[in-house]
Structure 1
Amino acid sequence: MAMRLSSLLLLLKLSASMSIPTFMAAGTDEEAALLAFKAAAISEGDQRVVALSLSSRGFTGVLSPAVGNLSSLRRLNLSFNGFGGDIRASIGRLRHLQVLDLSRNTFSGEFPVNLTSCINLTTIFLRYNQLHGHVSFEIGDKLTGLSVLSLDNNNFTGAIQESLSNLSSLTNLEFAFNQLEGDIPSSLGNIRSIQYLTLAFNDLSGEPPLSLYNLSSLQWLQLQGNMLHGGIPADIGNRLPHILILGFFSNHFTGPIPASLSNLTRLGRLHVLVHLGLSYNRLEADDGEGWEFLTSLSNCTQLDFLDFSSNAAFNGQLPSSIANLSTNLQTLSFCDTGISGSIPSSIGNLVRLQIFRGQNTSISGVIPENIGRLGNLTELLLFNTYLSEQIPSFIGNLSNLIHLDAHHANLEGPIPASIGKMKNLNILDLSQNRLNGSIPEDISDYHSFLYA
């Protein structure tokens, strides 16, 4: 059955407000847009349009106010285009709307308050636009059926609204990369259904409320890039049994890293800690205490990212248990700390390691022979350290290495010819050491940046 005339006229009004990419153009922009709209529209019953999906079509222009006349619309997806201007207030007339996705455009203006009239909404994606102003408090009061609220990568300001705690079905609350400020409301801890909470890279301050750590369904907790302070709860591993990603870096957290993180193993299940980012804080450790977490993390068998760099109060000797971390580990960074001691001889156990950053520390001793087993390594940074003796010839076994920097590392002796076998190496810096002899010809022939 053909689409009813009134629906076609509405689509025509919508198409008149936008431009069509050249690769789609056929006749006038308006004609091409109408054809695209007809192809993307889904109708049912009396042929009213109930869904319109025009993602990644290359459209530009503004959203026509006529969108508010599609009174039966349940799903509207205009993501990954070049729409700009305000999000039309008329969208608030779409009382049947359930899913709205306007992400990855250039919409500007403030959060459309009329949107809170769409009381059947379950999903809102407005991320990656240029929206500004405050996030409406009416969201929590009127859109109580929301399960996804994604406003990442905009320019929203003001506080996180307490009323969001009314969204008892919310699974995703995504506010990262905005300019939100103030404390994290303790009432967010009442949203027991939440699984993905991303508040990263805002201007939030204060101490995260303890209620946040009671959200036992959380899989992602990203608080990095704020001005938060206080300690990480000692029993965090018991409180967040499903957590996959913990992002606490670039804040002002103090105290030790909790050993209870080892409880995030969920043995026999798929829910395990894979990402732990704690850099750029004020976390503490010394030879007496604070390193227990590292031993406990050996139980996290799926861990692939561990970064506790740039914590100036992190001191003491690097435990040999670091080599007992997950064999899935791909990134290990403890640079810019007061850590001393030597690199464990068993470091080669971390066979999937790709990035090793130990620069700007007080580590000493030889580069262990076992490091030659790290065939997946692409970045090895050991500069500004207190290593000793010669660069071992087995370093040439690191055939995937792209960046090797061991300048000012107290090394001595000749540059091993085996480095010439590292055909992927682009940056090599061995300057400010006590090296002697000549630079092997194979090295000088093909490396993009060579400092020796």
Structure 2
Amino acid sequence: MICNLGSLVALDLSYNNLSGMLLDCSGNLSFSLSILSLRRNNFHGNIPQICKKGSKLKMIDFSQNQLQGWIPRSLVNCTMLEILVLGNNQINDYFPSWLRVLPKLGVLILRYNQLQGAIGKPKSNFVFPNLHIVDFSYSSLTGKNRPMYMQANTSFDLPGYIWKSQYAYSMTFTNRGIEIAYERIPYIFIAMDLSSNKFEGEIPELMGNLKGIQVLNLSNNLLTSSIPSSLEKLIALEALDLSQNKLSGKISPQLTQLTFFAFFNVYNNHLIRPIPHGNQFDTF
């Protein structure tokens, strides 16, 4: 009967004692259904191919059942899907990286299943573009977590024993006008120092594409023209040193909007008034 309800918008049969296998015809309902919840029942067997092209499903919750097999690949047709909850079942599958194509998927919960294999590196910049809640706990997924600091993993064989160690990289880098010795280099530290060279001409507008950069030092060169407006896009920028160049014009007031900005040096240029005020500039 349910398969014939062509105008059904929401189907919630959760928290019952229903059993058996899920209906193969449920794919036909995806053209009208937005909500499909069968949470906490006793359904078993494979999950049917519930999504067809043109599906309107926004939420699927089959958690806390006894479902087995693979995650149905037809889910890629559910382009409006926002929530997918399949936790606490007996699903035996690999990490579903193919779900990355779903543009609106925000919640993905697959906990307490038999997921296996590795979570690989993304092949695209647009991987799970809207995902903000993910739960793969109590599975058998593998992979290596990147350490907080850059290091080399070293090892050599001894008779009857393999010796392993981590060698932390170190460096000396000028940050906020001070030469600092970093005994360990944090992975999250992103910086560029091109100071004390003979660079001429304008600062390239492309500098505004360095969205993750925290420290930028172009001091002691032969740079001319004005400070490019594209630097306003460097939302992670903490320190900017443009001192000892031949820059002219005004300092853009938009730089005051950079919320992490803490060090700004334009000493010995040809800049003119006014000096911007407000926001971050008032904290210097």
TM-score (norm 2): 0.50
Greater RCO (CA < 8 Å, at least 6 residues apart):
2
Between Structure 1 and Structure 2, the one with more helix by share is 1
TM-score, normalised with respect to structure 1? 0.32
